[in-house]
Amino acid sequence: MDADRRAKLEQTTRYDPGEVEGRVYERWREGGHFTPEPAGTAAENYSIAIPPPNVTGSLHMGHGLNNTIQDTLVRKHRMMGERVKWIIGTDHAGIATQSVVEKELRAAGIDRHELGREAFVERVWEWRERYGGRIIEQLQRLGASGDFANERFTLDEGYVAAVHKVFVALHEKGLIYRDNYMVNWDPGSHSAISDLEVENREVEDTLYSIDYPVEGSERVLTVATVRPETMLAD
């Protein structure tokens, strides 16, 4: 066999996973296998709502593992004859997304406050379109058999309305209430943030011991602190 014929044969017989996976995946989607609506009894249906990835950036290996496990489960139940819906979506991530957008603006020499609220919010939505779309592309590239035709976002009107409804209901039951509590205060965003958004690090500091005299006694109460300036508020 001459070299030209051998090269042509290799081109037509060599396995190209990228081409094959993409073609087969599109056939699955076009066949409507990922978008069945619930019907029948509860036992005849199976659904998973994806823990929505934050739109702060692209997916990482942890997302790959997590979504592969979910995909394995939904494929298993689909093969068992159940109507399966894997609800796909992304999370706005609130302060975390605001932080990465601010970082991008600073790199371009733009101050958020000088930019103005409306223009900044527009930049955040542009970021969401960019990375939200990239996340969906990554999930599809993994072969995730989710319902991409009904993708959700945690700032969708229906989603927000549902959150408000549940929040009000919990408040009326006394399960959500206002109280005094230790919080993580971010002086940059002027907002309280969750423990998940706090990065802890060990630092060397000076520990001061302050003696507080006990009224009517010669005893003292010794308090150790790295913030002696708070003594004035005690």
- What pLDDT was estimated at residue 66? 96
Whether 151 contacts 38, CB under 8 Å: no
Give the residue-averaged pLDDT of 138-158.
93
Going by DSSP bridges, is the β-strand pair 147-153/83-90 parallel, antiparallel, or unpaired?
Answer: parallel
The answer to whether residue 140 scores a pLDDT higher than 70 is yes
**What HEC string does 82-112 produce?**
CEEEEEEEEECCCHHHHHHHHHHHHHCCCCH
At residue 73, the 3 state secondary structure works out as helix
* pLDDT higher than 60, residue 129: yes
A 10 A CB-CB count for 64 gives 13
How much is the pLDDT for 124? 93
Neighbours of 95 (CB within 10 A): 14
Q: How confident is the model at residue 125 (pLDDT cuts 50, 70, 90)?
A: very high
Q: Where does the chain hold its CATH 3.40.50.620 domain(s)?
A: 10-201
How many whole angstroms separate alpha carbon 152 and alpha carbon 131? 14
> Could you tell me whether strands 184-186 and 191-193 are parallel, antiparallel, or unpaired per DSSP bridges?
antiparallel
Give the confidence band of 78 by pLDDT, cuts at 50, 70, 90: very high
- Structure pTM? 0.71
Predicted pLDDT at 175: 97
List CB contacts of 35: < 8 A, sequence separation 6 or more.
Answer: 85, 147, 149, 150
Above pLDDT 90, what percent of the chain? Answer: 59
Q: Is 66 exposed, middle or buried (0-12, 13-18, 19+ CB in 10 A)?
A: middle
The Cα–Cα gap between 163 and 169 comes to 10
Which residue, 118, 121, 87, is CA-closest to 101? 121
CB 37 within 8 A of CB 139: no
**Residue 11 pLDDT grade (very low, low, confident, very high; cuts 50, 70, 90):** low
135 versus 4: which is more confidently predicted? 135
Q: Is CATH 3.40.50.620 the right assignment for the domain spanning 10-201? A: yes
Least confident interval from 65-69, 94-98, 222-226:
94-98
**pLDDT for the residue 67:** 96
Average pLDDT over residues 60-88: 94
Digit-coded pLDDT (tens) for 172-217 = 999 999 999 889 998 887 888 888 888 889 989 999 999 999 998 9
Rounded distance, CA 64 to CA 217, Å?
65
Per-residue model confidence (pLDDT) at position 53:
94
